[in-house]
Amino acid sequence: MDKLKAKLMSAWNNVKYGWTVKSKTSFNKISPVTVMGHSYLLNSADEVERFRLAFVSRIWLTYRREFPQLEGSTWTTDCGWGCMLRSGQMLLAQGLLVHLMPKDWVWPDAQQLTDVDFEVFRPRSPVRAGGVPIPSFGSPRGSNTPEKSLASDHCPKSGPRKRPECARDRQAEPIHCKLLTWFGDHPPAPFGVHQLVEIGKSSGKKAGDWYGPSIVAHILRKAVAKASVVQNLAVYVAQDCTVYKKDVVRLCDQSLSNTASDPLSQTWKSVIILVPVRLGGEALNPSYIECVKNILKLECCIGIIGGKPKHSLFFIGFQDEQLLYLDPHYCQPVVDVTQVNFSLESFHCNSPKKMPFSRMDPSCTIGFYAKNKKDFESLCSAVSVALSSSKEKYPIFTFVEGQGQDYGLEGHSSNHSGPAAHILPPGKLDKSNDRRNSDESRGGGRSSHVGETNRRLKADHKEGLCCSSGGR
């Protein structure tokens, strides 16, 4: 019965997520668009093309079907339940792009991905600046009919000038291809769904279950620690909305390790910092919107995994009061990444999508990357400034000099009986004794406001973003 149920659910989800609605994305040419710390003012054909290339070059990881059966289950697709895992994969993939690829790398084949037909409009009034259409990157995937331009303030008929191909970007293509194989949908892939589901078992999760952004952060940490394919990179997950600098130094400074025998080897590991937070109660607290914008403006930010209620997304930027995102809710056939010259097209999206900040689920995980010690120090300074822009008394999270208690992934297990994980259980949110216990176990150097911050947090099983009755 379980096998039959899984097959029926898979068939339904394959249909549900196997098509795409043909729709235009709304932008305007007055306000800048921010993508991964870079700003694009879409008032010229060249700027629109720069924005297009920056968007298309992001790694897009979606639902897949017909992959090898997940161990201990009957699932051969993650449709309907794996969207948060896919969003987490995209966050990690962005970190790996920054870690491995040349600075400001652009996928050379992005220019041939689709025929581009831009629409450029000037808002009729500043009040409407957030919702007037301009660029579309061509027809949505799955449509063979080219879209017609709307007649208003068009780009020149010749279209935007193509960006001259950079030899450096072309030379980096083998790394790009290798990186995508690490996210392949087969058991050996170190960051594929099979491995992430296997790692999630230590927190009581299994294929088909709901995953929250906090648990996915710990799964990614453990996956990178376990993998041998990525050199000189560590992942740190913040505790109780606090980044403990001493813990990051201990994780990254290889000179502190007795195993660092080669004096010529690099002494500081690059680091991806993941910070699970909750930006309000049942809905997003509007006071945090400006702070989130300022975080997304930073080059050290590699995105946010979260979404809207019942729908996980990967946020990569914004324009005005709308977030720009990549959506994993599109079911594609599995790609055999073990084949030479496998197609890369399905790993890149040509349809930018936006949604209002007001629809953002308050539970999310924010990602940052620092290449070396100097970058980490700059990151701490820049992010702290961004955090101070919040209108709330307490910031979203904080940096402190001390060291915290390592709960690890197992701290999120439903049957865990040790110290409370980052997100306190629902029944204990407002009890003073739980706040006291949280503060007592926080480790050295913890700032006094974090216990108050914890009172706003929900349990991880409520923070997960469900995309159907099948899971998140």
User: How does pLDDT run across 54-66, given as a tens digit for each residue?
Assistant: 999 999 999 999 9
Has residue 354 been placed in a domain? Answer: yes
% the chain with pLDDT above 90:
54
Active site residues: 83, 327, 329
pLDDT of residue 97: 97
Whether the per-residue pLDDT at 77 is higher than 90: the answer is yes
What DSSP letter does each residue of 380-402 carry, written as one string? Answer: HHHHHHHHTT-SSSS-S-EEESS
Q: What residues make up the domain containing 348?
A: 2-142+153-257+266-411+420-462
Average pLDDT, the chain: 78
Tokens found for residue 22:
């043909």
pLDDT of residue 239: 92
User: pLDDT (tens digit, 9 = 90+) per residue, 409-467?
Assistant: 555 544 333 333 333 333 333 333 333 333 323 233 333 344 444 444 443 434 444 45
**CA distance readout (Å), 57 to 93, 108, 114, 143, 467:** 11, 9, 13, 21, 26
Has residue 342 been placed in a domain? Answer: yes
Residue 199, SS3 per DSSP: helix
Has residue 280 been placed in a domain? Answer: yes
Has residue 40 been placed in a domain? Answer: yes
Query: 447 burial class (0-12, 13-18, 19+ CB within 10 angstroms)?
Result: middle
Task: State how far the Cα of 146 lies from the Cα of 115, in Å rounded to an integer.
Answer: 8
**CA distance readout (Å), 87 to 209, 213, 419:** 15, 9, 28
Beta-strand relationship, 353-356 and 64-65: unpaired
pLDDT of residue 374: 95
Task: State how far the Cα of 11 lies from the Cα of 15, in Å rounded to an integer.
Answer: 6
pLDDT of residue 203: 86
> Mean pLDDT over residues 380-406, rounded?
88
pLDDT of residue 165: 64
Has residue 52 been placed in a domain? Answer: yes
Helical H runs in 301-394?
373-387
The answer to whether 81 and 210 are in contact (CB under 8 A) is: yes
Has residue 469 been placed in a domain? Answer: no
The answer to whether 256 and 250 are in contact (CB under 8 A) is: yes
Tokens found for residue 86:
């896919």
User: pLDDT (tens digit, 9 = 90+) per residue, 273-297?
Assistant: 999 999 998 899 999 999 999 999 9
Model pTM score: 0.80
pLDDT of residue 359: 95
The total of structural domains in the chain comes to 1
% the chain with pLDDT above 70:
67
> Mean pLDDT over residues 12-18, rounded?
62
User: pLDDT (tens digit, 9 = 90+) per residue, 319-329?
Assistant: 999 999 999 99
Q: Confidence band (pLDDT; 50, 70, 90) for 243?
A: very high
Find the range with the poorest average confidence among 6-20, 192-206, 220-234: 6-20
Q: 426 vs 216, which has greater pLDDT?
A: 216
Phi, psi of 98 (to 5 degrees): -65, -35
Whether the per-residue pLDDT at 146 is higher than 80: the answer is no
Has residue 468 been placed in a domain? Answer: no
Has residue 147 been placed in a domain? Answer: no
